[in-house]
Structure 1
Amino acid sequence: MKIQESAENYLETILMLKEERGMVRSIDIVRHMNFSKPSVSRAMSLLRENGYISMDKEGFIELTDQGRAIASTIYERHQLLTEWLTRLGVSPETAAADACRIEHDLSAETFQKIKEHIQRAGD
Structure 2
Amino acid sequence: MEIHESAEDYLETILVLTEKIGNVRSVDISNEMGFKKSSVSVAMKNLRSTGHIVVDENGYIKLTPTGKEVADMIYERHKFFSSWLISLGVNKETALEDACRIEHVISKESFSAMKEFLNSKNN
With normalisation by structure 2, the TM-score equals: 0.97
Aligned counterparts of 1:9 and 1:22: Cα–Cα separation in 2: 18
Give 1:122 shift: 1.3
Aligned counterparts of 2:9 and 2:18: Cα–Cα separation in 1: 14
Q: Which residue of 1 aligns with 2:6?
A: 6
1:86 matched to 2:86? The reply is yes
Spell out structure 1 runs of 4+ moving beyond 3 A. Answer: none
Gaps of 5+ in 2: none
Aligned counterparts of 1:86 and 1:57: Cα–Cα separation in 2: 42
Residue aligned with 1:54, SS: strand
Aligned counterparts of 1:88 and 1:122: Cα–Cα separation in 2: 14
Query: Partner amino acid for 2:122?
Result: G
Aligned counterparts of 1:40 and 1:48: Cα–Cα separation in 2: 12
Gaps of 5+ in 1: none
Query: Partner amino acid for 1:115?
Result: K
Q: Which residue of 1 aligns with 2:40?
A: 40
Structure 1 residues 15-26: aligned runs within 5 Å: 15-26=15-26
Give 1:2 shift: 2.0
Residue aligned with 2:54, SS: strand
Query: Partner amino acid for 2:60?
Result: F
Aligned counterparts of 2:118 and 2:30: Cα–Cα separation in 1: 34
User: Residues 57-81 of structure 1, C-alpha deviation per residue, up to 9 Å, x if partnerless?
Assistant: 1110000000000000000000000
Aligned counterparts of 1:71 and 1:33: Cα–Cα separation in 2: 15
Q: Which residue of 2 aligns with 1:70?
A: 70
Residue aligned with 2:35, SS: coil
Alpha-carbon RMSD: 1.0
Give 1:116 shift: 0.9
